């Protein structure tokens, strides 16, 4: 494995490194629906293969996103199918599907995805829908799972029930103001008896640092570790720079944040993160642990798919020490 350009340092020792052959996926000029941009990849590691659903753009006029599928046996080199894995067909998906997140719950594969339906009339209002699949090609839609009008993105489900409940993290952009007790879009946690009816909403994490000044949102679905649920998330500053942070949530009571990094663990630095369709963006949407190493998959500048790797234990210690 060849890593380059370290992003996270602890006592002079590099913890997180970008894959030297980044980007791992580029737009394909020969395929109409993914000719302009491929980014924000969802990841699922089944112990054998790393499956990826990635967001693809083929034109800038309507900017409608679809999902492609790619697969890897080593987590670094991905082969794609060059056919649309999942595209908009429903009214609520009219203006596109964005930012998938893959997870397994009770041995069934699910993915959440942002849908844009009222874009033209009301501006870019996002809702999040859920679907399930067995082969990353035939997908069954389970419909929108976020509350109406909450402008809700960055929705991830925990990969198992906790205290007999499904647990979800979401980022309702319109839930700010005196009624909600916060003034910036934050990460909320909710629980449900089914996968489509979440309640008991609680604020989990609010923006705290300068690099999170505008808003924060979950990245990949939480990963279970011996020290708690590992949450990789993004923070946006006032100049619209997207960086990556990490936190640990209590295993049995994930409403409790055990620790959270003060500094970003990854931030735009390389040309493919600084210059693209939206400049200065690292946007993590997939993660998995292979051989004790956390692989974080992210979109670079809304243009390409990238990978950074960190020793899981080193990252956990870093977070526990307050990052
Ligand atoms: C967010 C989402 C992401 C995108 C990011 C940076 O709000 O729309 O899809 O990668 O902005 O543009």
In tens, the pLDDT along 47-97 reads: 999 999 999 999 999 999 999 999 999 999 999 998 999 999 999 998 899
Q: Which residue has the tokens 């890897």?
A: 72
* pLDDT of amino acid 50: 98
- The verdict on residue 2 lying in a domain is no
- The verdict on residue 7 lying in a domain is no
Q: Is the CB of 54 under 6 A from ligand 1?
A: no
Q: Whose CA is nearest to atom 7 of ligand 1?
A: 153
- Contact call for residues 57 and 67 (beta carbons, < 8 A): no
- The verdict on residue 12 lying in a domain is no
C-alpha to C-alpha distance for 19 and 294, rounded to whole angstroms: 12
- The verdict on residue 187 lying in a domain is yes
* pLDDT of amino acid 1: 46
- The verdict on residue 9 lying in a domain is no
- CATH number of the domain that residue 304 is part of: 2.115.10.20
Q: How far is the CA of 141 from the centre of ligand 1 (A)?
A: 23
Mark the ranges of the chain whose per-residue pLDDT is less than 70: 1-14, 118-124
* pLDDT of amino acid 5: 47
C-alpha to C-alpha distance for 123 and 253, rounded to whole angstroms: 37
* pLDDT of amino acid 322: 82
- The verdict on residue 270 lying in a domain is yes
What's the length of the chain? 323
Q: How far is the CA of 244 from the centre of ligand 1 (A)?
A: 13
> Domain range spanning residue 218?
18-320
Q: Whose CA is nearest to atom 10 of ligand 1?
A: 302
Whole-prediction pTM value? Answer: 0.95
The pair of three-digit structure tokens given for residue 296, joined into one six-digit string: 């974080």
- The verdict on residue 3 lying in a domain is no
Residue 282's alpha-carbon distances to 70, 107, 209, 221, 274, in angstroms, are: 20, 30, 17, 17, 9
Q: How far is the CA of 156 from the centre of ligand 1 (A)?
A: 16
C-alpha to C-alpha distance for 131 and 301, rounded to whole angstroms: 26
Q: How far is the CA of 305 from the centre of ligand 1 (A)?
A: 13
The total of structural domains in the chain comes to 1
Pairing of strands 126-133, 65-72: unpaired
* pLDDT of amino acid 3: 47
- The verdict on residue 180 lying in a domain is yes
């Amino acid at each position: 494995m060849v890593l380059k350009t370290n992003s996270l340092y602890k006592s002079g020792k590099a913890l997180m490194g970008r894959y030297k052959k980044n980007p791992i996926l580029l737009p394909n000029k020969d395929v109409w629906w993914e000719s302009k941009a491929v980014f924000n990849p969802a990841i699922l590691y089944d112990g054998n293969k790393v499956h990826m659903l990635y967001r693809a753009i083929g034109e800038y006029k309507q900017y409608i996103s679809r999902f492609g599928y790619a697969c890897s046996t080593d987590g670094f080199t991905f082969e794609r199918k060059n056919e649309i894995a999942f595209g908009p067909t429903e009214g609520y998906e009219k203006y596109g599907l964005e930012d998938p997140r893959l997870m397994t719950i009770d041995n069934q594969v699910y993915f959440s995805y942002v849908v844009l339906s009222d874009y033209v009339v009301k501006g870019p209002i996002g809702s999040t829908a859920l679907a399930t699949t067995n082969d990353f090609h035939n997908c069954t839609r389970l419909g929108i799972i976020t509350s109406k009008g909450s402008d809700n993105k960055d929705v991830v489900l925990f990969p198992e029930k906790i205290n007999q409940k499904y647990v979800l993290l979401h980022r309702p952009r319109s839930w700010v103001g005196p009624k909600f007790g916060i003034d910036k879009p934050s990460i909320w946690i909710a629980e449900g008896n089914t996968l489509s009816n979440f309640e008991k909403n609680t604020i989990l994490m609010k923006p705290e640092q300068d690099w999170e000044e505008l808003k924060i949102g979950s990245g990949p679905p939480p990963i279970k570790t011996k020290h708690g649920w590992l949450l990789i998330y993004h923070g946006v500053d006032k100049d619209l720079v997207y960086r990556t942070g990490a936190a640990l949530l209590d295993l049995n009571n994930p409403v409790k944040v055990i620790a959270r990094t003060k500094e970003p663990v990854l931030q735009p630095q390389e040309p493919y993160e600084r210059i693209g369709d939206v400049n200065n963006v690292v946007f993590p949407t997939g993660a998995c642990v292979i051989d004790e190493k956390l692989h974080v998959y992210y979109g670079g500048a809304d243009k390409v798919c990238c990978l950074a790797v960190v020793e899981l234990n080193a990252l956990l210690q870093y977070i526990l020490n307050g990052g």
